[in-house]
Each structure stands twice: as structure tokens, then as C-alpha cells.
Amino acid sequence: MIETRQLTKRYGHLIAVNEINLSLKEGDVFGFIGPNGSGKTTTMRMIATLLAPDYGEAYVCGKSIYNDPREIRRLVGYMPDFFGVYDDMTVIEYLEFFASAYRINGPGRRKVCEEKLELVDMAFKRDAMVNQLSRGQTQRIGLARTLLHEPQVLLLDEPASGLDPRARIEIRNLLKKLGELKKTVIVSSHILPELADVCTRVGMIEKGNLIVDGYVDEVMRKARQQIMLQIRVKENMEKAAALLEQHDLVSHVDIVKGTIDATLKADTFDYSSLPTMLISEGFQLTLFREEEVNLETAFMSLTKGLVQ
Amino acid sequence: MYGAFALLERSLRVDSRALSPHLARLGLLGAIYFSLCYALTTSFMFGAPGLRFFQGIAYLDATFMTLLGIGFFSTSITEEKEEDTLGLMLMAGISPLGILAGKSGGRLWQSLLLIAVQYPFVMLAVTMGGVMHSQVWSVTVALLAYMVFLAGFGLLCSTLAPRSQTASVWMVIGLLIYFVVPSVAVSWSISHTTWLLNQRGTTPQTTLFRTLIEGIGDICVFLQMGKILTTGFRDTAWSTQVVTNVLAGVACVALSWLFFGVATRSPSTEGGSRGLVTRNRQLSPFYAGRTWINPFVWKDFHFVSGGMGMILVRVVYYGGLSLVALAIENKNDPYAMSWFGTIFFLVWFSVVVDAARVLSRSMQDEVRGQTLASLMMLPRSANGIVYSKFAGAMLGWLPGPIIGLIFTIVSPTMREGIEQMLYEQNGVNGIVVITMLILYFALIPHYAAFFALYVRWGAVALAIGMTIATYFVLMMGLSICLMLASGTGPINSAELLLFVISIVLFFICAACHIGVMLRVQALGSK
Ligand SMILES: Nc1ncnc2c1ncn2[C@@H]1O[C@H](COP(=O)(O)OP(=O)(O)O)[C@@H](O)[C@H]1O
Ligand SMILES: [Mg+2]
């Protein structure tokens, strides 16, 4: 559905997006993660045909951004990171205006608008003025607008930024719904946990480079290649840490907040000799467990050394 | 006090990056240069080139200062209100007086630069002869006093008004009163000289009335400069105009200070800005209704031009003016005819300014609301969107030109005038003159739509200024060319001049269309 080849954008000497290759299938919800200024918005604008790349290609549903921008705009719903609303309109007027701009006319139009309002849980604000909505409500109206023309592909730029925790959860549920509707979604964020459990795919961008990209379970598996153990002993923590450091299975050891974090060497899965060793040396174990791998820790371990 | 300096420094830095003051200075320099050429080429016939040149500079200064002042001083406080930063400043411990001084000081400085920029030319005017140093000095003092008034009055409007747009409208109305009332008083006292003379010393009331009527003309800077720039001027520089303008400016600052707390407490953007367009069918007949097949036309008709309600207002305004003018039309009374002419001009000038206003708002609202990206993302051509928007905005504007045309055709004076123009007069084809006039006025809305995509405020004022400057440059530049070329053979120079000007104006209008499209697309991808 979305395919980019060496997509590149420069601003003077700054390379905002550097040869990004992406390939997303139908139903993929792609979490596009990176700190502020890493090039997420720039990438999405290029895919949305709003910004011309300096180099490279991008296709949406097989259509090239150079040859069929109009067709792509019909297929894509893009929600910018900052977008204005016509604050002199009511919510329903605003949606009907855009519906009509997408050439949805006739008696069905009002129904489509109300359906989308329902979907984003904003039906109760139907006749409110747009400028009297809260930030989160405006964001949801923006999302409803993006969905009006039933786009196959959704580009959502930081949809959850500035929202309270409850609204974030609602946005997340909405994303899940969209994935179930077989839409292809790119959703960006500078905070990882926000996207961790709704995405099927994740990519991490840093200074314009896509440094990690893959399906969630794939990323997890890669991260799991190095197991990290959390160990706590009653006394002589430093001594235990030194002992572990010298052990054949252990690659390195950190002490964090009274816990020894021991990272095992690559492809080491059987670590049952470690507790035995510690106990035989006379240490009293109070905690010994494998750290749970979630998307966040996976990223931390995968990007170690890549990100400074 | 430190806060005021920080503000002043910031506003100096930010404002010096803004486009309009630089444009104004550039425009002024260009205009002055052409005024010089004009004075030189015409001095063979009339003499005193220095005085003519200096007159040009003085009036240009006052005009540019007015236009810049409207766009500049009236936004000083409202722009902070709009960005909701006023509260932050007050919390940072900057006193209201500090904010007022800091925000307007930078702008005053920019405007002073406007006067300073043409100092070498003033010296040139003096060496060219015909101007006395006392005249230069008096004009400078008069202009500075006028600027103090502009700054103070703009600051007051900006403090009291909730939004920049409102503030600049108030300022325009205030300045119109400042220009029109003295001029009317002077013209009235001239036409009633004998009656006024007979009133001398009859009762205290009539004496007071006479002093007022005669004195009120002294407060307007344009009239005052007219007095200074006659040959043989020997009054003091500290005229009534200087004293009253400075006092008014200071009083306005004092009032701003007084009302600062009250006026800035409520947020600026609260409440609908829908004007007369209602949300509900039951409430009034001016219901926006459902979106039309072309949503852009629908939106700009209702939310830019004001919808049915504003159409009614326009019909009443233009209809009322036209009826009054037709009622007083009487060729045997020159006094009535001068009023008739004024109203005729007012009707058509309103039509032009209204066009400029709706077109510039149609663009500016999108830029300020950051909504262009959403529009450019639609599967429609950018041209289609922009011209639909313009069409919607102009739909609401239509009553003006329609009533204006009816008025022009119905009035015997105007009909005769046009018929006469259509016959050749002094060797100039009337159609060329009318074409040139139409293009000249059409340039104002074109510029306004274009500049609205570059400046945050005052696109209409800038457009009027730039149109005058464009015309001035064309007129002077081409007449100099023609004068130089006239040795080559018998050509009808006046007609040729107007013809060439029309063509150039036409191309500038076309360039505005292209410029708007390019700029909209650029802004949409930002
Ligand atoms: N119009 C522009 N001109 C110059 N630099 C820009 C422009 N837009 C973005 N950039 C730069 O490109 C980089 C990527 O920006 P962006 O894509 O907005 O990042 P993100 O959305 O990940 O926060 C940033 O360093 C930013 O400063
Ligand atoms: Mg961004």
C-alpha cells in the first residue's frame, strides 16, 4: 500500500530525511517513532504529496507521488501535527464543508458526517462552535475529518500529543479499530509507549535515518537475543557484581538502584548455572528474574550505540 | 523597567524582520526619486523645483506614515492579545506602562526611520532652491507631531479593541474623522465667508462657533502642510496642529494606560466571529444553511463576505448613499455638487476597498488559521479551490458594484460626464481613460489578495499604498520617457501614456494571480 524508495529531503545542509525505504501492507499500523526534529513530519508530508522530495520515490496503492498526486490525495487521509480549524463554524458545518470538498454530496452527506462524529465519540458536540472545543476534542474532530472520504491510507502526525491520558487511550482504541478495518496507518509519535500496543509494525527514525524497522514480534525477537537478568542480593552487592562480570555467560553488568542488571552474551538462553554459582559463593538471593521484554526495552537494546 | 527594555529589544528585532516597514521605506524612496525626476522635468515650465520637490516629499511622507501607522500601531497590543502572551508578560512583572512603552517604542523608532531615510533628498530640495530652512523645519515638526498622534491613537485602539482587525478598523474611522472634519469645516467656512464675517462679535456663542470652525482646520497635518508650503511662509513651527496632535497623542497613551487593566482582562478570541451569520434557522433569516455543492464558495460567502446579513447591510449602505446623492444632485448649486461628487467617490471607493477587504480576508483567514495544508490536501486543483474562494467572497460583495452602476447610470450628471468622456477630449480617447481608471482601481484588490499571503495585518492599507506608488512610478517614469522621446515625431503622448500604463497595470494584475497561486501552494506545503 505504501512504498518508499530512498526518499530524501534536504533543507540546505540539513538532511531532514535520508534515503528512507518503507514497505507497508494493507492492515499495517505502522508506529513511526523518533524524537522531535527527526524527520517524521517531513516524511509524512512527502507521502501525502504536500512536499516534493529531493530524491527517491514513494508510491501509495501503486500510484506515484510524482505522477498521480490528485489520485493519492483521494486515497489518503492526512492529519497534520498542527492544523487549524475554521473557528467560526460549528462542528457539523465544519465536517460537511470538508465532506463536500471531497465531493460527498447529496442526502448521504449528513449521515456520513454524523457517522464519523460517532466514531470519534464527539456526537454530543455536534452543534458546538469549533473554537469552543478543547485541544483533545479538536484533535478528534480533525481525525473525523480525515476519515470522511473513507481513505485507504491514513497518515496521522502525532495525533495524541497534548492530550490527557484518557484521551490518549481513546485515540489508541480508535487506532485499533482502524487497523481492524483493514486500513493502512502511519502514526507518528515522539513517545514510544504511546504506540507500543496498537502497532503491528514499528520504525524508529533518528536524524533522518530509519534505524529500526520491522513487525513488532520481529523487533521483539531481535531484542530478545540478549537476555537481561535482574538480580538482588542481601549483602555485598559490589562483590556479587564483580563475580558476575567475570562469568563466562555474562557480557556486562550495571548496578541500578540496588539491583544488579546483568546482560548475558548473545545467543545465551540457559542461565541456570548463575543462581547456583551465587548461592554456592554464600550470597543470599532476594531477587532473580529475567527482565520482561516490551517494545520499549527492545528499542533501548536495539538502538544502543546508534543513538547518542 | 527592565521588562520594558527587554520587550523593546524584542519588538525591535521582530519588527525589523517584518516585511511591511521595509516595503514602506522602499516604496517611499522610489516615490521620492520619481518625485525628484518629475520636479526636474516640470521645473522648466513652472520654476521653483525645490519647493515642488519638497511638497512631493512632505505629502508622500504623511501618506506613507498614515498607511504604515494603521497597519503598525493598531496591532501593537492586540497581537499579544491574540497570541495570549499578554498575561504572561503581566505575570513576569512587566508593568502595563512598560508593556505599552515597549510594544510601541520599537514601532515608533521604525516610523522615525521612515522620515530619516529621505533626509538627503530634503537637503537636495533646499539646494535646488525655492524652499526655506524654516519650511523644512516646520514640516518636520508637523510630521513628528502627527506621528506622535498616530502612535498614541493606534495604541489606544489596540488596547481597547479585542482583535487587530477591529483595532485597525477603529483607527481608520478615527483618522477619517481627523481628515474629513477639518476639511469640511474649512470648505464650509470658505463658502460662508461673508456670513461668518458678519457674525463677528455679535454674541459669545457665535464668536466661539466662528473660532471653532476656523480653528478646526488647523489640527489636520495635511492642511497645515499646505499652509507651510506656500511661498512666503513665516509662521512659527509650533503651530496649533503640532500642539493639538502631540497633546492628543499623549492623552491617548494616558487613556491606554488607564484602561489597560479593564481592556486586557478578557481573552480576545472568545465568542463566535460569525458576524450576522447565525447557527440556527429559528434565530434569524441569516442562517448559513447546509454546505453548497461547491463548499468553498459557500464558506467564503458566509464567513468572509458575511452572508445574507451583510448583503442587506451593503444594500442599505450603498442604496442609502446613492439615494442621498441623487436627492441633492442640482447642477446650479456648486456646493451641493461638491457633496454629490464626494458621495459618488465614496460609493466607488467603498466598492474597491470592500473588494480588497473580502479578497484579502479570504486568504488571510486561511494563513492565520493554518488551514491551508488541509485545503491543499484535498483531491482538487489548487486553482479551483482558490478561485472558488474568491468567487464566494465576491458574491457577497456584488451589491456594491451593482448599486454603484445603477447610481452612475441613473444620475444625469454622471451619465453626461461619461458620454462626454467617450467623445474625444483634448485628443485623448475616453475609452482609454476609462480602461486605465478601471485597471487602476482593480489593482487594489489584486494587491490586497497577494499581500494578504505575506503580511499578517494591514494588507488592504498596504495594497492602497502600493497601488498609489505603482501608479506614481508608472506615470513619472513613462512621462519622462515620453518627454525624452518626443523629439522623434508627432505622437499623441497623453493617449499613448495612458495606453501603456493600462497595459502595464493589466500585467501587474495578471502577475498577482500567478503570485497568489504560487504562494498558496508554498504555504500549503509548509
Ligand atoms: N521548512 C523547513 N525549512 C528548514 N528546515 C526544516 C523545515 N521543515 C523541517 N525542517 C527541519 O527538518 C528536520 C525534521 O523536521 P520534522 O520532519 O518536522 O521533524 P519531526 O516531525 O520528527 O519532529 C528538523 O531538523 C527541522 O528543523
Ligand atoms: Mg513533527
| A168-200 burial: b if 16+ Cβ within 10 Å, else e | bebbbebbeebbeeebbbbbbbeebebbbebbb
| Residue A200 reports pLDDT greater than 50 | yes
Ligand 1 atom 1, closest CA: B526
d(CA A43, ligand 2 centre) in Å: 9
| Residue A213 reports pLDDT greater than 90 | no
Each domain of chain B, given as residue ranges in start order, spans 1-181+221-265, 303-526
Full-model pTM: 0.71
**B277, B286, B291: best to mutate for the A interface, most A CBs within 10 A:** B291
CB–CB of B478/B41 below 8 Å?
no
Q: Looking at the CA of A210, which ligand is closest? A: 1
* List of chain B residues whose C-beta atoms are within 8 Å of the C-beta of residue A101: 295-296, 375, 378, 380
Q: Name A219's bridge partners.
A: none
Higher pLDDT, A263 or B211: A263
Distance (Å, whole) CA B312 – CA A272: 88
**Cell numbers 551465587 label which residue?**
A278
- pLDDT number for residue B385: 93
CA distance, residue A105 to nearest chain B CA (Å):
7
Amino acid at A18: N
ipTM of the complex: 0.73
Q: What is the grid cell recorded at B360?
A: 484579502
Ligand 1 atom 2, closest CA: A11
Q: How many CB pairs under 8 A join A and B?
A: 85
In order of B88, B91, B236, B307, B472, the CA distances from B83 in angstroms are 10, 15, 46, 28, 38
Which domains occur in chain A, in start order? 2-217 (3.40.50.300), 225-292 (3.30.70.100)
> CB of A287 within 8 Å of any CB in chain B?
no
In order of A133, A136, A142, the CA distances from A163 in angstroms are 13, 5, 13
For the segment A9-20, the average pLDDT, to the nearest whole number, is: 90
- pLDDT number for residue B271: 43
**A61, A87, A88: best to mutate for the B interface, most B CBs within 10 A:** A88
What count of Cα atoms within 13 Å lies in the side-chain half-sphere of residue A202? 26
Q: What is the grid cell recorded at A5?
A: 524508495
Q: Name A261's bridge partners.
A: A230, A254
- pLDDT number for residue B322: 92
CA distance, residue B348 to nearest chain A CA (Å):
30
Phi (first) and psi of residue A281, to 5 degrees: -80, 0
* List of chain B residues whose C-beta atoms are within 8 Å of the C-beta of residue A44: none
Higher pLDDT, A111 or B93: A111
Distance (Å, whole) CA B315 – CA B290: 24
Among B466, B518, B326, B307, CA closest to B396: B307
CA distance, residue B367 to nearest chain A CA (Å):
9
From A7, A38, A78, A157, give the residue whose CB has the most ligand 1 atoms within 8 Å, as the site to mutate. Answer: A38
Ligand 1 atom 5, closest CA: A11
Q: What is the grid cell recorded at B268?
A: 480576545
Distance (Å, whole) CA B395 – CA A193: 51
Interface of B with A (CB under 8 A): 269, 272-274, 277, 279, 288, 290-296, 298-299, 303, 365-366, 368-371, 373-381, 524-525
pLDDT tens for the 526 residues of chain B, in order: 556 666 666 665 665 556 555 666 666 666 666 666 665 555 545 556 677 778 777 887 787 788 778 877 888 888 777 777 777 777 777 778 888 888 888 788 877 877 777 777 777 777 777 788 888 888 888 989 999 999 999 999 988 888 777 888 888 888 888 887 887 777 777 777 676 666 665 677 777 777 777 777 778 888 888 888 777 777 777 888 889 999 999 999 999 988 887 766 665 444 445 665 655 555 555 666 777 888 999 999 988 888 888 899 999 999 999 999 888 887 777 667 777 877 888 888 889 989 999 999 999 888 888 888 888 888 888 899 999 999 999 999 999 999 999 998 898 888 887 777 777 666 667 788 888 889 988 999 999 999 999 887 678 877 887 887 788 788 777 777 777 766 554 455 677 778 888 999 999 999 999 999 999 988 887 7
The tens digit of pLDDT for each residue in A148-187 reads: 998 989 999 988 877 777 778 878 888 888 888 888 999 9
| Residue A201 reports pLDDT greater than 60 | yes
Ligand 1 atom 25, closest CA: A37
DSSP code per residue over B210-276: HHHHHHHGGG-HHHHHHHHTSTT----SS-HHHHHHHHHHHHHHHHHHHHHHHHTSS-SS-S---TT
Distance (Å, whole) CA B355 – CA A85: 25
Higher pLDDT, B287 or A232: A232
- pLDDT number for residue B445: 95
From A10, A42, A155, give the residue whose CB has the most ligand 1 atoms within 8 Å, as the site to mutate. Answer: A42
Q: What is the grid cell recorded at B307?
A: 452572508
Among B18, B170, B159, CA closest to B100: B159
Burial class (CB in 10 A: 0-12, 13-18, 19+), B315: middle
- pLDDT number for residue B391: 95
Among B489, B466, B490, B344, CA closest to B404: B344
User: Across A162-176, A214-228, A293-307, B393-407, which has the greatest mean pLDDT?
Assistant: B393-407
Determine whether the interchain pair B291/A96 forms a contact, defined as Cβ–Cβ distance below 8 Å.
yes
Residue in B with minimal Cα distance to A76: B377
Determine whether the interchain pair A51/B274 forms a contact, defined as Cβ–Cβ distance below 8 Å.
no
Is the CB of A208 within 6 Å of ligand 1? no
Distance (Å, whole) CA B231 – CA B250: 32
Give the position, in ligand 1's atom list, of the atom nearest the Cα of A42.
Answer: 17
In order of A135, B45, B232, B413, the CA distances from B319 in angstroms are 45, 46, 47, 18
d(CA A159, ligand 1 centre) in Å: 18
**Cell numbers 517614469 label which residue?**
B477
Tell me the residues surrounding ligand 2 (ion) with CB < 5 Å: A 41, 81
